[in-house]
Copies of this chain bind each other. A is one copy, B any other.
Amino acid sequence: MDKKIKKILTIGIGEFALDSAYWQRIKVLAEKIINLPKDSSEIKSELIDTDCLLTGFGIIVNKEIIDSAPGLKYIGVLATAYGKVDVDYAKSKRISVCNIPGYATEAVAEFVFGIILEHVREIERGKKQTREDNYSEAGFSAVEIKNKIFGILGLGRIGSRVAEIALGFGADVRYWNVDRRKEFEIKGVKYEDADILISKCDFLSLHFAQVKDTENFLNKERIQKIKKGAVVINTAPMELVDIDALEKRLVDKDITFILDHSDEMSSENIKKLSKFENCIIYPPIAYITKEARIAKQEIFVGNIESFLEGSLINQVN
């Protein structure tokens, strides 16, 4: 059988990262498939005759790796973020790099409202109390999303969906993005200068991709500007936030910070934040839904299939 791909090497993609139906769709594309964990010592030797490399989230694919695979034509990343792949060097070697954009847009956007409402409506407390046979509403207090200033930093895929859902709740939705998004302004999402927005919001949700310009975007100065009583939500990487400055502000107990812990966050930083009652940390579950998992696999495998058919989709280089 003469297949277009001689050998697929996967790095850091566990057996359960893909459902068997998707593994099957990948396997039929290549003559051979080798799966290695991310810390395997065999990576370099296996790369020699690899023409298709598939990597999990956060796997480093630098010049050295690329140079170890002289026959490499395609790198597929099983994630939206591809910052660990040297895409320019790959391009210079005519290697296409494809990622999985947008598979978890809805999952993350819906989660943002789940964790906001959990907090402002004391939902965990309500559940816990009834389990203890206490059905009293005494002492519960809450605020509504309607009519509140709901700020969004970064109006990309996820930020846009958060904006639309917030409009459904009747919030006064405002955004800052590096580019104006007139199509959302027509719907009623107002543009504001980032610093002014931060100082005004009742709810502030971060949706930047992590790039050089957005790292530490919520710096000391901006964290100090956050309105008293505001709820700040970060389902994006915590690299967007100056953790030490956040720690100092949390001491004042006048803001609430809710985050979806990312794998990239150091245990030192987690320790700094987890001691605060007004910092609510979730496991990295914002992107986890059945729908997102299916979309992720569909796009990942679809990317490879399209590459073989000569029409590249989701190429990032």
CB distance from A317 to the nearest CB of B (A): 29
Q: Is the CB of A130 within 8 A of B282?
A: yes
Q: Is the CB of A136 within 8 A of B289?
A: no
> Which of B143, B164, B284, B291 sits near A144, CB closer than 8 Å?
B291
A310 at the interface (CB under 8 A from B): no
Q: Is the CB of B144 within 8 A of A261?
A: no
Q: Is the CB of A127 within 8 A of B289?
A: no
A110-B117 CB under 8 A given contacts A137-B284, A137-B288, A142-B288: yes
Copies of this chain per assembly: 2
Closest to A115 in B: B123
CB distance from A167 to the nearest CB of B (A): 6
In addition to A144-B291, A165-B168, 19 A-B residue pairs with Cβ atoms within 8 Å of each other are A106-B170, A110-B121, A110-B144, A110-B169, A114-B114, A115-B123, A117-B117, A123-B282, A124-B127, A126-B282, A129-B283, A130-B261, A135-B261, A141-B288, A144-B289, A144-B292, A147-B291, A165-B169, A167-B168
Can you name 13 A-B residue pairings with CB atoms under 8 Å? A106-B146, A110-B117, A113-B113, A114-B118, A127-B280, A129-B283, A133-B274, A135-B261, A140-B283, A142-B289, A143-B289, A144-B290, A147-B291
